[in-house]
Amino acid sequence: MTNFGKRGHVFEIANLSELPKAGSEDRSPHVRCYDYIGSQRPLRFRRLHHSQNVSPPAESLSGLRNPSPSSIQIPIIDLSDERTKIVRQIRDAARTWGFFQVINHGIPNSALNDTVSAIKSFHEQPKEAKSKFYSRGELGGVMYASNNDLYRAEAATWHDSLQVWTSPEAAPAEEIPEICRKEVVEWDAHVKNVADKVMELLGLGLGLDAGKFKELTFSDGRAMVGHIYPYCPQPDLTLGITPHTDPGIITVLLQNEIQGLQVKHGDDWVDVKPIPGGLIINIGDFLQIVSNGEYKSVQHRVLANAAKEPRISIVTFINLVKWRDSDSYGPLPELLTPKNQLYIEILQGKNSLKTFTAKDWIANLLWRKSNCDVFVCRQETLFDNKSNETIRWNAKGHQFSKVIENHQKDSDTNFFILCPADLLMKNEMSCTSLVNKRLNKF
């Protein structure tokens, strides 16, 4: 049990790992008691103290005390450099790190500063002003909550977030908190410009036409999330955000001067040192799949903030919108040779939840593409976000009896890797190691 005293109270850090498994039907009632609005940390701890099910966070804190190797840094790319040079730099960064920082991106410093200040002002309001925006509806409009992944995560962490959808259906202006409305709308336009520039370069790095990603609507779905990581009195006992990969095409991140983001590189967690005026960009799961594994969607996490000043980060998730017309996506055919295909097919989007049950989906893939043996899909495909329940699997008869175990193993990465059990038995390995083996092969 993780306790620390403050003015006579015993407070505890949330760890949800002993509760029923994330996504299982009987978990939500247990988690609901951790659900609260805004940065009332002592309230949260008191609630945890009454829980029967609190124990120290384990896996997600691994390596927390190992100092990050100071000699290595994510690549810094000057967007005003010569074009062939930056195409090469961005391609190399996306292949090896999945993360890079850009400078000279064309957004004025005043816009960077105003956006950070506006998000900070929102979070520093009294609880009553913020609670009007409380929601956990992640798929549109405006959402404000602590731990937006509370109902599916293994551990509660030390951040609150305001999320605003800006495209393709922008949240109505009157629903965006007035205190940051102007800045959120203006920031979205700036981010789209930078994202389009970077995606053109990423496309060129794959040998595609400059306009290919634009044509595929890769920057037309956008959600901005303004995080605050308030001061945490015991930063070695929890995290700001647990390790994960981002789901979409790319993510563009603006932050204040407080360090906290770490990127997995080999076996190390590497600190991302913020550069004044810079933007941090990372590759999402979907781009990894579209690029047939050429670009890497890399795990990252945020340390709990030990500084007295809150850490502010403004993250824009950039995604495609064409999925609305189609249920299936995979690597771009022009990147494939008969031998190099890593991912078979991905299903995503609301439609797949409506039109496929999990069983249909497996059957569909299995029989339509009979040469498939590993399938990768996003979390949303299997989760019903409204009820936070996993769609019940009935894989018997389709040789997918390992599906449930493997989905739990990989929940951190947002990928569900599915593989027929007989193939696993033949190879005596897990889905994850099978996929890793394939990744290493190319």
Ligand X SMILES: O=C(O)CCC(=O)C(=O)O
By CB under 6 A, tell whether 253 contacts ligand X: yes
Q: Which is nearer to Fe ion, 154 or 246 (CB)?
A: 246
By CB under 6 A, tell whether 402 contacts ligand X: no
* Nearest distance in Å: CB 432, Fe ion: 20
60 and 242 Cβ atoms separated by less than 8 Å: yes
Residue closest to Fe ion (Cβ): 246
* Nearest distance in Å: CB 61, ligand X: 17
Question: 173-232: which residues touch ligand X (CB under 6 A)?
Answer: 225, 227
Binding-site residue total for ligand X (CB under 6 A)?
Answer: 11
Cβ density class 210-231: b for 16+ within 10 Å, e for less: eebbeebbbbbbbbbbbbbbbb
Q: Using CA atoms, how far apart are residues 414 and 23, in angstroms rounded to an integer?
A: 13
> Using CB under 5 A, which of the segments 117-125, 149-157, 244-252, 353-361 binds Fe ion?
244-252
> Using CB under 5 A, which of the segments 239-247, 266-274, 334-342, 406-414 binds Fe ion?
239-247
Question: 303-322: which residues touch ligand X (CB under 6 A)?
Answer: 313, 315
Q: Which is nearer to ligand X, 11 or 415 (CB)?
A: 415
Among 224, 302, 303, 362, binds ligand X (CB under 6 A): 302
Among 162, 179, 261, 358, binds ligand X (CB under 6 A): 261
Q: Using CA atoms, how far apart are residues 297 and 289, in angstroms rounded to an integer?
A: 9
Q: Using CA atoms, how far apart are residues 225 and 244, in angstroms rounded to an integer?
A: 16
Q: Using CA atoms, how far apart are residues 247 and 316, in angstroms rounded to an integer?
A: 12
SS3 state at 161: strand
Q: Which is nearer to ligand X, 290 or 314 (CB)?
A: 314
Ramachandran angles phi, psi of 117, nearest 5°: -65, -40
Q: Which is nearer to ligand X, 123 or 300 (CB)?
A: 300
CA 49 from centre of chain: 29
Ramachandran angles phi, psi of 123, nearest 5°: -70, -25
* Nearest distance in Å: CB 61, Fe ion: 18
> Using CB under 6 A, which of the segments 40-48, 134-142, 253-261, 342-350 binds ligand X?
253-261
Q: Which is nearer to Fe ion, 227 or 402 (CB)?
A: 227
SS3 state at 243: strand
Q: Which is nearer to ligand X, 297 or 341 (CB)?
A: 297
Give, rounded to a whole angstrom, the gap between the first and last alpha carbons of the chain: 45
To which H or E segment does residue 167 belong?
strand 160-167
Q: Using CA atoms, how far apart are residues 34 and 290, in angstroms rounded to an integer?
A: 37
Q: Which is nearer to ligand X, 105 or 301 (CB)?
A: 301
In terms of DSSP H, where are the helices of 169-299? Answer: 181-205, 212-215, 285-290
DSSP 333-376: GGG--TTT-----EE-SHHHHHH--HHHHHHHHHHHSTT---EE
By CB under 5 A, tell whether 246 contacts Fe ion: yes
Q: Could you list the residues that contact Fe ion (CB under 5 A)?
A: 246
- Residues near ligand X (CB under 6 A): 225, 227, 241, 246, 253, 255, 261, 300, 302, 313, 315
